[in-house]
Chain A
Amino acid sequence: MRLFRWLTIFALLSATSSAVAQTMSFEQAATILLNSCGKDIDKYCRNVNVGSGQMRNCLLQNSSVSAACKTDWSRVALAVQQRAQARVAVLKICDADARRLCGSVEKGDGQLLDCMLAAKQGVGAKCNQAITDAGYR
C-alpha cells in the first residue's frame, strides 16, 4: 500500500516536470504557481499582488518559503517567457510558408493559422516546430 502511494506520487511528479519541460499554457503555468506557492503567498506575501512585480522578491527572499515554491516560481516565469516569445516568433518564422501556402487567406481572427494547420504537409520543419512551440495545436 505504501509502495503504491509512493509510485503514485512519483508518477504525479514526473508528469508535472515533463509538462514544464515543454512550453506550457498560461493556465498550466498559473496552476503550478497556485499549487506550489499558494499557501506561502497566503502566509508570507498576503499583501502583494501577483502582477505588481514584487511577488518574486517577496517569495525568493523569504527563508520560510518552501524550496519547491522558489524553484517553481523561477521555472514558471521562464516557461511563460518562452511561450510568449514563441508566439511572437511563429509569425516571423512562418511568414514565408504562410505566403506560399495560405497567401489568399485573410489575416486576423485565426483563419491564417487554421489554413496553416490544414496545410501541414507543405509546412516547413522550422515553421512546424514554431507552431508547436507556440502551443497552437
Chain B
Amino acid sequence: MFSNSKIPTVTSRVAFGAFAGALVIAASICPLRAQNALTTDALVGGLVGLETTPNVDVAALRQRALERIKRTEGQSAVNRPPIAEMLYNLPQLTVEINFNLNSAIINPTSYPTLGRIADALYHPTLSGYRVLVVGHTDATGKREYNLALSEKRAAAIHDALVTTFRVPPQRVLSVGLGEEQLQDRDHPDAAVNRRVQIVTIGKVQ
C-alpha cells in the first residue's frame, strides 16, 4: 500500500464531445493499457522518487513561454523544442481531466480524478512534497490563446485541489505551457498533446 515503486499506468482516452479537452494519461515509464483511470497508489507511485532539488521558477517559466511566442511568431510548430526541458527529469504523471469546450471549466466527470489526485497528495509518501500542475494544449489555434487557456485550466485544477479538497496551498503550484512543450513534436495538432501533467518539484519548506 505504501510502496515506493513506480507503477506505470495508462488509461484509454475518454471522449467528451467532439472537441473536448480530454487528456491522455501516460506515465513516463513503460506504458501499459488499462481500463480504469489511475488509482491513488499509481499516482503516488508515479510522483514519488524526487532525487534532486530542482529549481523550478514558475513565474520565469511563464515569462519564457510568452517571450518565445513573441520572438518566434509565425514559425511552424513542427519540431518546436520544449520550453521547459528540466521538467522531463522529475517524477511526473499525465492525468486525464475533461474540460468543457474552449473553457477552463472542469467537467464533473473528472471530479473523481481530482479526488484521486488529492488522495495521492495526502498520502504519507507524498505529503512532504510540492507538485506543479502543468497544462498543455495542441497547436490548433493561436499560440497566445493556447498559452492562456492552458494556464487557466491548470489554475482550475489547482483551485479544485486547494479549495474543494483542502490540499494546503503551499503544496500545489500551477502553470500553463500552451503548445510550447508538445508531447508529439512531429504532429503538433495531435490529441496526445492536450494534457495535464502533475510534476513533483520539491519538498515542502
Contact = CB atoms under 8 A, between A and B. Distances in A.
Given A26-B115, A26-B118, A51 B108 contact: no
13 contacts: A26-B118, A29-B115, A29-B165, A34-B109, A34-B112, A41-B108, A47-B103, A49-B106, A50-B114, A51-B164, A109-B125, A110-B125, A110-B127
A81 interface: yes
Given A31-B111, A48-B105, A110 B165 contact: no
Contacts of A112: 124
A127 to B, nearest CB: 14
Q: How large is the interface on A (under 10, 10 to 19, 20 to 34, 35 or more residues)?
A: 20 to 34
Given A25-B119, A51-B164, 19 more contacts: A25-B115, A26-B119, A27-B115, A30-B113, A30-B115, A30-B165, A34-B111, A34-B112, A42-B107, A46-B100, A49-B106, A50-B108, A50-B114, A50-B164, A51-B156, A51-B159, A80-B166, A110-B125, A136-B124
Interface of B is mostly: helix
Contacts of B183: none
Contact of B108 (A42, A47, A80): A42
B159 A52 contact: yes
B128 A108 contact: yes
Given A27-B112, A30-B111, A49 B124 contact: no
Q: Which interface residue of A30, A31, A52, A114 has the most chain B CB atoms within 10 A?
A: A30
Contacts of B122: 26, 83-84, 87
B163 interface: yes
Contacts of B88: none
Contact of A34 (B40, B108, B119, B124): B108
Interface residues of B, number: 37
B111 A49 contact: no
Given A41-B108, A51-B161, A110-B125, A30 B114 contact: yes
Interface in B133-189: 156-166
Contacts of A28: 115
B104 interface: yes
B203 to A, nearest CB: 8
Contacts of B123: 110
Nearest to B50: A109
Given A25-B40, A26-B115, A31-B111, A109 B128 contact: yes
Interface of A: 25-31, 33-34, 37-38, 41-42, 46-53, 80-81, 83-84, 87, 108-110, 112-114, 136
Q: Which interface residue of B100, B109, B162, B165 has the most chain A CB atoms within 10 A?
A: B165
A127 B40 CA distance: 24
Contacts of A83: 122
B62 interface: no
B120 to A, nearest CB: 9
